[in-house]
Amino acid sequence: MIMLDVSLPASQLFSIGPIPITDAMLGAVLTTLILVFVGVASARRFAIIPTRIQVLFEMGANYFLEQVEQAFGPEKARTFFPVFFTLMLFILVANESTMLPFVYEIVYNGADVFRQPTSDFSGPIAFSLTLVVVSHIMAFYISPITHLKNFFPVGAVFASRSVSDFFLACIGMMIGLLNIVGEFAKVISLAARLFGNVFAGNLMVAVIMGIAVWMQWIVPIPFLALGVFSGLIQAFVFSLLSIQFLAGTIEGATPQSQEETAQAVA
Amino acid sequence: MGLGAIGPGVGEGYVGGKALEAIGRNPSIANKIIPNMIVAMAITESTAIYSLVIALIILFVV
């Protein structure tokens, strides 16, 4: 029986001033380097007649652009597309980088130097927190009053003319408070989904390898394959859900759409 | 963890079954259904993942 070497928090390697540098942060740097390298290497030879790798990138980008267009509409899609595609590429490369040979085995002072940034809870939390905060800033920028109205629908209380109207307005206030809770739940649910899948995949491989020495060669392969597959799916799901959330928040803050819904209700 | 996995088990079976039903009715749109099915499954799975995360936190942190 081999001892399991699994730790939920990222282990600290060294610190630059007050900032502790963990292995997951180095993993994020590694992921970024891979992305930059592949990006530069493939963009150098962009042409009208595409090379194979260019076709691959363009297929992925096209498919993704369609999804963004469905959520935001064709005009805004071009503006928002880079955010989500970068996010997806980063998560994808981070998830699949376990396939790099030897990189994750480098040990410094008894701790791994690299770790997948998505298998540390801080990573996914950072992604989802950034997205939700950015969505609120954007919505606030578009129309502050309409955006705040989604959470504190005070206007309906003063506009109510009868007792039943007043009760409905109070229920609206409660729903607004629930929306605030929902925004926090969004951050946690997005992050926990990604983190849970990636970490569970790693943990499963570690457990299988820990059963016996002879199980370290052939037996983990299906579980590794499962991890690769779920890493792809989770990168896709994370970015799709963040598109939906961002589109929903921005839709809700656009005054015009509110009037439309009000008309639809009336 | 086991309790949390019951719901997604039922839900994923339902998603997969309905997707197969749809493919059976109209096999030509299978390519459109399967990505949507996988995304829906991954979302359905999330409650199981939450319970897994909580189990992991109880195991390794608390």
Residue B61 has pLDDT above 90, yes or no: no
Rounding to the nearest 10 degrees, give the CA dihedral for residues A46, A48, A52, A53: 30
Beta-carbon pairs below 8 A across chains A and B: 42
B-chain residues within 8 Å CB-CB of A185? Answer: none
How confident is the model at residue A14, as a pLDDT? 76
What is the domain partition of chain A in residue ranges?
A: 12-265
How confident is the model at residue A263, as a pLDDT? 55
CA B1 from chain centre, in angstroms, equals 15
How confident is the model at residue A202, as a pLDDT? 83
How confident is the model at residue A76, as a pLDDT? 79
A233/B46 CB distance under 8 A: no
Q: Which is it for the CA torsion A234, A235, A238, A243, positive or negative?
A: negative
How confident is the model at residue A266, as a pLDDT? 47
Query: Helices A122-142 and A221-253: crossing angle, nearest 10°?
Result: 20
How confident is the model at residue A25, as a pLDDT? 86
d(CA A69, CA A81): 9
Residue B61's closest chain A neighbor by CA? A8
d(CA A10, CA A21): 10
Structure tokens at A22: 């963990």
* A138, A226, A249 from A131: Cα distances, Å: 10, 28, 11
pLDDT tens-digit readout, A220-241: 888 888 888 888 888 888 888 8
B-chain residues within 8 Å CB-CB of A196? Answer: 49-50, 52-53, 56
Nearest to A196 among B38, B39, B53 (CB): B53
d(CA B33, CA A48): 32
How confident is the model at residue A257, as a pLDDT? 52
A111 min Cα distance to partner chain B (Å): 17
Residue B14 has pLDDT above 70, yes or no: yes
Tell which residue, A99, A98, A106, A87, has the closest CA to residue A23.
Answer: A106
The residue ranges of chain A whose pLDDT is under 70 are 1-7, 110, 255-266
Collect all residues from B whose CB is shorter than 8 A from any CB in A: 38-39, 42-43, 45-46, 49-50, 52-53, 56-57, 60-61
Counted residue by residue, chain B has a size of 62
A-chain residues within 8 Å CB-CB of B56? Answer: 8, 196, 199-200, 203
Residue pair A242/A131 in contact by the 8 Å Cβ criterion: yes
What are the residue ranges of helices labelled H in A212-254? 221-253
Nearest to B50 among A192, A233, A241 (CB): A192
* A180, A202, A231, A249 from A225: Cα distances, Å: 39, 11, 10, 36
**Helix (H) / strand (E) containing A13:** strand A12-16
How confident is the model at residue B55, as a pLDDT? 86
Complex-level ipTM: 0.76
B50/A196 CB distance under 8 A: yes
- Classified as helix, coil or strand, A11 is coil
- Cα angle B25-B45-A218, degrees, rounded to a multiple of 5: 95
Residue A17 phi/psi, 5° resolution? 65, -130
Give the predicted TM-score (pTM) of the model: 0.81
Residue B18 has pLDDT above 90, yes or no: yes
